[in-house]
Amino acid sequence: MKPFCDLEDRDTEENMKETLHLFKIGGAILEDAAELENTLAFFSNLPGRKLLVHGGGRRASQVSKLLGIETQMVEGRRITDAATLEVVTMVYAGLENKKVASLLQAMHCNALGLSGADGNIILAGKRPAGNIDYGFVGDIKKVDTKNLSALLETGFTPVLCAITHDGQGQLLNTNADTIAAELAIALAPHYQVYLYYCFEKAGVMTNVDNPDSLIAYLDPESYSIHKELGNINEGMIPKLDNAFRALEAGAASVQVGSRKSIANGTATQLLLTTDFPKK
């Protein structure tokens, strides 16, 4: 047995891995019935193993308002008190999760709607209170790749919502972008993971109101420059932080964009080098 492998051996091993397409879909897509159906149709037609992650924050805020529960957000992150936890669990793990699963079933994609508590797929810990107490928000500790791989190899398409658990009976609200990154990282040793952050925009833009400002390729250096210039800000920063973390930890590819831009190859492609290829 060779104790080490050279780069060629590693490339060969990587190419032997089965492909896994991991999609995270944003709240605006969930709110748009036509776009949700089109996005899920695109996703269901992808070859090989598939896994989907979704949130549902917009609908959770709507339901909270109907119930007279105040929505509290800090830098795009939801403060999850006990009442809000009940709402997000109902919306994420119930309404949105089963809606997505049922639509995929209609497309002959054998979806299985799950939370992190189901099958102990995602174990998290309650985030300690610091300058901001986020309440029942969970930071991921472990992804059960054995159980998740068993579902994938059986032919199921797991559909994971943004609810995790602590192993002691406590449900936790966990950011869906983070869940997608952690799943990609955990599954990268077993699959050639292609991670897609799919939302309503064509990709990362220096001006969200100008489609011509789309950034075709983004590496850590250019990402840092765009942040300093204020071209990339607010909610896009934690999304890209997660995306780069997944890429650095072994994901084969990470793209950020809409269904259309992903399909036609014009979504923002994340790279770890400044040697950009030509599109």
Q: 41: domain CATH number?
A: 3.40.1160.10
Assess if residue 262 is contained within a domain: yes
Structurally, the chain folds into a number of domains equal to 2
Claim to verify: residue 196 and residue 161 sit in the same structural domain: no
Check whether residue 230 and residue 145 sit in a common domain: no
Do 167 and 200 fall within a single domain?
A: no
Q: Which of 172, 203, 234 is the last residue of a domain?
A: 172
Alpha-helical (H) ranges within 113-218 are 145-154, 176-187
- Is 12 inside any structural domain? no
How far apart CA 72 and CA 83 sit, in angstroms, is 12
Please tell me the least confidently modeled range out of 3-7, 136-140, 158-162.
3-7
pLDDT tens per residue, range 194-251:
999 999 999 999 998 998 999 999 999 999 999 999 999 888 999 999 999 999 999 9
> For residue 113, is it within any domain?
yes
Same domain, 166 and 70: yes
Single pTM value for the model: 0.91
DSSP 53-90: EE--HHHHHHHHHHTTPPP-EETTEEPB-HHHHHHHII
Q: Is the dihedral of CA 269, 236, 53, 183 positive or negative?
A: positive
In a domain, 11, yes or no: no
Q: Do 156 and 244 fall into the same domain?
A: no
Radius of gyration of the chain (CA): 19
Residues 32 and 158 in one domain: yes
In a domain? residue 227: yes
Residues 225 and 257 in one domain: yes
Q: In degrees, to the nearest 5, what angle opens at C-alpha 185 toward C-alphas 36 and 167? A: 85
Residue 253 lies in a domain: yes
Question: Does residue 146 share a domain with residue 237?
Answer: no
- The amino acid sitting at 215 is I
Q: Read off the pLDDT of residues 265-276 as tens digits, 9 standing for 90 and up.
A: 999 999 998 666
172, 201, 228: which is the final residue of a domain?
A: 172
| Residue 128 domain-assigned (yes or no) | yes
- Domain region containing 199: 192-279
Within this chain, do residues 136 and 74 fall inside the same structural domain, yes or no? yes
40 and 161 share one domain: yes
DSSP single-letter state for residue 211: G
| Closest to 92 measured CA to CA, from 48, 130, 136, 131 | 136
Q: Cα separation of 278 and 242, whole Å? A: 25
Same domain for 45 and 161? Answer: yes
156 and 276: one domain? Answer: no
62-101: pLDDT as tens digits: 999 999 999 988 877 889 999 999 999 999 999 999 999 9
In a domain, 49, yes or no: yes
